[in-house]
Amino acid sequence: MSESWKGQKLLSRAEFHVGAHVTKFLRLQMLPTSSDRTNAATSGSDKTNRFALVFGTLDGSIGCIAPLDELTFRRLQSLQKKLIDVVPHVAGLNPRSFRQFHSNGKAHRPGPDSIVDFELLCDQFIDVLFETCGKREKGREGEQNEFGFAKEDKNFEMIPLEEQLEIAQQIGTTRSQIISNLNDLTLGTSFL
């Protein structure tokens, strides 16, 4: 604890590749999710005061780093590892290798294993978002949900339902629990 000056100093816990040069970080309060309210009611501790870092890059991209509770992190990390092994990737590129931080001789901290790549989870498990995040709408760009994910943009049927159920069982959880975790994270960072 002395290293962080009793929580007053941020400590570096991971390094990962974003894909572009980050120019600005902004701290924003996350919206409380249904699981936050449930946990606060049962345990008496209020964890709704959570913050996320939103960042901008030189190429105009916007990203977000948000905290997860330990159980959700472990569950989504297991799902991520399973998806990296099971699902074919765009152009055969490994997302874990892409997120690996590269530097010119500097000491490295733990890599992308301590970060859950929500983009990867959403790209591979996208029909979860279609099913749980609202009704489908027909727009000029094709079939979309309320978050603007188009059927053509994200390989909608990348993973069939049976395979999703099997993957969930292999990592020791249920498909509905994964859906709930992804939905909570989406709602918690809906300030974007």
Owning domain of residue 180: 2-188
CA distance 50 to 66: 8
| Residue 26: predicted pLDDT | 93
| Residue 43: predicted pLDDT | 59
Residues 73/184, Cβ–Cβ less than 8 Å = no
- What is the model's pTM? 0.71
| Residue 55: predicted pLDDT | 94
| Residue 75: predicted pLDDT | 94
| Residue 122: predicted pLDDT | 75
Per the structure, how many domains does the chain have?
1
Q: Is residue 83 exposed (0-12), middle (13-18) or buried (19+ Cβ within 10 Å)? A: buried
| Residue 5: predicted pLDDT | 77
Query: What dihedral do alpha carbons 128, 132, 134, 137 form, nearest 10°?
Result: 30
pLDDT by residue for the chain (192 residues), tens only, comes to: 457 777 677 777 778 888 899 999 999 888 887 666 666 656 555 556 788 889 999 999 999 998 888 999 999 999 988 888 877 777 778 888 888 887 776 666 666 678 888 888 876 665 444 544 443 343 334 454 443 434 333 333 367 788 888 888 999 999 889 888 888 888 888 876
CA distance 151 to 48: 33
Residue 13, phi-psi category: left (phi > 0), alpha (psi -120 to 50), beta (remainder) = alpha
